[in-house]
Amino acid sequence: MHLRSHFRIGFIVLISAIGLAACQSAQAIVFLPSVDIDEVFDPFTMDGEFTVHNNTSEDVFAFVVANDTATDSFSGVNFWNSAIISRSLWEEGFDFFMGLPEWTAPDTSSIDWDSTFGAEFNQAIAYWAADLLEVSGTPIASETTEGPFFFSSELPASPFIAFGATGNTVGQGSTNVVPEPTAAWLLLTALVCLVGSYRNR
């Protein structure tokens, strides 16, 4: 293949990798939350997963992540449930299934949607420590990490809110998008092509 063709291919792959990384982080909002949620998202399969880091002194019993393009969700953590809920359901008061007697679910009807997630969102994914049969789930303990919590969507990097045992807010911010391996491979391929074309000069 001609030298210019090698260089052109390498340049195109490099731009693609940079663009993919930019898309994954463009929506990030920094609130310095006391609960951090990492998000790995594959834009090709449109599948992703959350990992929750609880940096607070309280247990996390539930968290909700806004995402208008989510089509499916389920928990990889035993006895945690999940559901995709609409803005209207949130404003009416979402009924968390109560598997833990010490957990008081938040009254979502009293939590303003727009100030929590943003007016541009109309849907969210909820995860909480109880399954559909109301079997007791284990909350995310203080100073621990738990996951994965799975979802399918078109876009990553969404605002979230996390709740404690009394329905109190223990964290709020935006997910941290962790580079998906596909983007890393694109970047590596681009660098190899560029280095190879440079050496052949």
93: helix, coil or strand?
A: coil
Q: Say yes or no to pLDDT of 136 above 60.
A: yes
Instruction: Specify burial of residue 132 (Cβ count, 10 A radius: 0-12, 13-18, 19+).
Output: exposed
CA gap 137, 78 in Å, rounded: 7
pLDDT tens-digit readout, 33-55? 589 999 998 888 989 999 999 99
Q: Is the separation of the CB atoms in 162 and 128 below 8 Å?
A: no
Q: Give mean pLDDT, residues 154-169.
A: 90
Lowest mean pLDDT, pick from 61-65, 92-96, 123-127, 188-192: 188-192
Q: Is the separation of the CB atoms in 94 and 62 below 8 Å?
A: no
**Quick one: pLDDT at residue 130?**
83
- Architecture in CATH of 29-174: Sandwich (2.60)
**Quick one: pLDDT at residue 137?**
79
Q: Give mean pLDDT, residues 115-122.
A: 96
Amino acid identity at 7: F
103: helix, coil or strand?
A: coil
Domains in the chain: boundaries: 1-28+177-201, 29-174
Q: Say yes or no to pLDDT of 133 above 90.
A: no
Q: What does 19-84 look like in DSSP terms, one character per residue?
A: HHHHHHHTT------SEEEEEEEETTTTEEEEEEEE-SSS-B-EEEEE-TT--EEEESSTT-EEEE
Q: What percent of the chain has pLDDT over 90?
A: 53
